[in-house]
Amino acid sequence: MRVLTGFSGWLAALFLLGFVGSAFVWAVENAILSLAVGAVMILGAYTILRHAANEFVEHLALALSLAGQVLVFWGLFRINTPGWSASTWLWIALLELALTWWMPSFVHRVFSTFLAAGALSTAFMQMHVPYVIDSVLLLAMAWIWLHLFRYPRQLARLRAVGYGLALALIPLKGSVLFQAGGTGWRAQPFQVESWLQPWMAELLTVAVMIYVVWQLLQRYQYDSGDRFSLLVLAATLLIALFSLEAPGLATALVILLLGFAVGNRVLLGLGIAALLFFISSYYYLLDITLLAKAGHLLLIGLALLMLRWLAARYLFNKGTTDVA
């Protein structure tokens, strides 16, 4: 149902934009005016949402806000020279963060978080600091889902941000994957030289994975020094290190793990979708030969099956009786 809300809001926004574009051509041609008209539309949407009494009005506000945002982006691109500079993207990210915080609508918040994450990632790439920001966003997502219930007053906000980040991370991590092969839409307009490499981001992702598992162990009141915890952490490290060779795999695993840990089926489904997406795009990664990929997958497969056997034999029949 939320997909329906999002889709019809987005479609209505397109028509609304067509209306604004054709009725106020003079405004759209002027950067300051389109900024102003866009801002008024967003403010209008905010006011409507605060007092929204029914579904129709909520849809109207969503469409109005989306159309307003496009006008503001358009103004920002025209004011900044060159338009695709880091500062434009930072402004967009800032605007979307503010909307995430203030707009009282779940769908709007998910959407704004998604855009904010994309804009932030692009801005950092423009500043010659690529890849790593995506892993920082992954850490933020993990933290939110693990501590979701700790802030009851912010629950609605945090859930929306958690979903928005998970949705954004799948294409973001995917684009890095394609970029490593020299293709991908984000690589084309601005090939950046940087000392940062994709594997550094993957290493950070490994750290996030270990953080998630460590936090979960704490939730079930395991000491970080006992045998069970050490074994679980060692196994996690092993899986994470193996997955380094197949980019994106660790990200998908983190989403999957969080989905299960917080009992959220949507997140679990997103994790599975991400996993399939990353594995199939791995086939097209151009840097390494199919033979090397086959070797990596063989290692990962054998390691996982061996870990499963070891876990069933040594871990679960002793360690978990005192959990829960």
Nearest distance from C-beta of residue 305 to another protein, angstroms: 4
Please tell me the distance from the alpha carbon of residue 252 to that of residue 156, in angstroms, as a whole number.
Answer: 24
C-alpha distances out from residue 210 to 135, 139, 207, 216, 244, Å: 13, 11, 5, 10, 14
Cβ distance to another protein smaller for residue 16 or 125: 16
Residue whose structure tokens are 């005016």: 33
Cβ distance to another protein smaller for residue 98 or 299: 299
What is the DSSP track for 57-117?
HHHHHHHHHHHHHHHHHHHHHHHSSSTTSHHHHHHHHHHHHHHHHH---HHHHHHHHHHHH
Cβ distance to another protein smaller for residue 197 or 320: 320
Query: Are the C-beta atoms of residues 69 and 20 closer than 8 Å to each other?
Result: no
Nearest distance from C-beta of residue 250 to another protein, angstroms: 12
Nearest distance from C-beta of residue 264 to another protein, angstroms: 6
Cβ distance to another protein smaller for residue 6 or 80: 6
Residues contributing to the site for another protein (CB under 8 A): 1, 3-5, 7-9, 11-13, 15-16, 18-19, 22-23, 54-60, 63, 149-150, 152, 155-156, 159, 219-220, 256, 260-266, 275, 279, 283, 289-291, 293-295, 297-298, 300-305, 307-308, 311-312, 316, 320-321, 323-324
Cβ distance to another protein smaller for residue 195 or 283: 283
Nearest distance from C-beta of residue 26 to another protein, angstroms: 13
Query: Are the C-beta atoms of residues 239 and 253 closer than 8 Å to each other?
Result: yes
